[in-house]
Amino acid sequence: MELGEGWYDEMLTHKGKYDFFESKRINHFEFYRESSGSINMDERSYAVGQFARIDCFRNYHVDDDYMWGATDLVLKQVAEKNGYKYGKVATAYHYHHTTENWRFESDLQKRGRRLVFQGPSWEIIDDENWEKAWDNYKKAIVKYIDPESIYPKEREGTLWYLRQLDLDWVKQTNTEWYNILLADKKYSTIRRLRKIFTRLFTLPIILIKRSKRAIEYILEP
């Protein structure tokens, strides 16, 4: 966790309003990927971290018109046509900062493309470890959190995953949660049956003709 610039001073301005308060969270994902073309002699480099003898480009001129995006190709071509040896060095590197910003950010007339990152998704790599961690979290809610402390917007979701716990363990640990979960279990059963009957009467005819899909539609949560 890294605090943003000016975090302390900004938080300090709210001390008269709260006794305990938290700041906004911004998820930061950072990764590096080696550009294979920058070390493979058979691929285009797309590089800008270059080193050259001045003579490689002496007496060569290029107009400042269409060059954006083609500089590496032109420089390689010029150097080789002038009889100089071109190469790539894999032991030295530079970072190419590829961001979500618009290209030509300062020139609205030239904007044409941007790089968009999709939100990362979780991948379970060890079911046993993940289930244990998730089980511990649910048990922490029952053991340490009072039901009335759960934010209203989180209440329904909390009850859903706490219902997965062993009710006998819940009863021994926190009777308040036990009574809530017991009542919710009865209510959820009634609610589910009501939903099934409602769907039975509102099921489109086209689904009735497709028996397998119709059954899935009726019984899905």
Last residue of a domain, one of 121, 151, 176: 121
In one-letter notation, the amino acid at residue 73 is L
When pLDDT is averaged across residues 104-117 and rounded to a whole number, the result is 65
76 and 184 in a common domain:
no
Closest to 27 in 3D by CA, of 102, 113, 122: 122
The count of domains in the chain is 2
| Block residue for tokens 């934010």 | 151
The reply to whether 138 and 109 lie within a common domain is: no
pLDDT at 202 (0 to 100): 61
Residue with more model confidence, 15 or 204: 15
Task: Evaluate if residue 221 carries a pLDDT over 70.
Answer: no
- Tell me the whole-structure pTM to 2 decimals: 0.56
Question: Within this chain, do residues 28 and 117 fall inside the same structural domain, yes or no?
Answer: yes
86, 121, 156 - which closes a domain: 121
Q: Tell the burial category of 75 from Cβ atoms under 10 Å away from its Cβ (0-12, 13-18, 19+).
A: buried
The set of long-range contacts for 100-107, using a CB threshold of 8 Å and a minimum separation of 24, is: none
Q: For the chain, what is the radius of gyration of the CA atoms?
A: 31
Shared-domain flag, residues 103 and 13: yes
Predicted confidence (pLDDT) at residue 168 exceeds the cutoff of 90: yes
Q: Which of 103, 121, 139 is the C-terminal boundary of a domain?
A: 121
Half-sphere exposure of 201 (CA within 13 A, CB side): 5
One-letter amino acid identity for 56? Answer: C
Rounded to whole angstroms, the Cα distance separating 4 from 25 reads: 10
Angle formed at CA 27 by CA 24 and CA 30, multiple of 5 degrees: 145
Could you give the CA distance from residue 159 to residue 153 in angstroms, rounded to a whole number? 12
Contact by Cβ (8 Å): 56, 78:
yes
Which has the higher per-residue pLDDT, 144 or 29? 144
Cβ–Cβ < 8 Å for 186, 194: no
Domain that holds residue 133: 127-219
Note whether 114 and 162 are same-domain residues.
no
Cα angle value 155/175/148 (rounded, 5°): 30
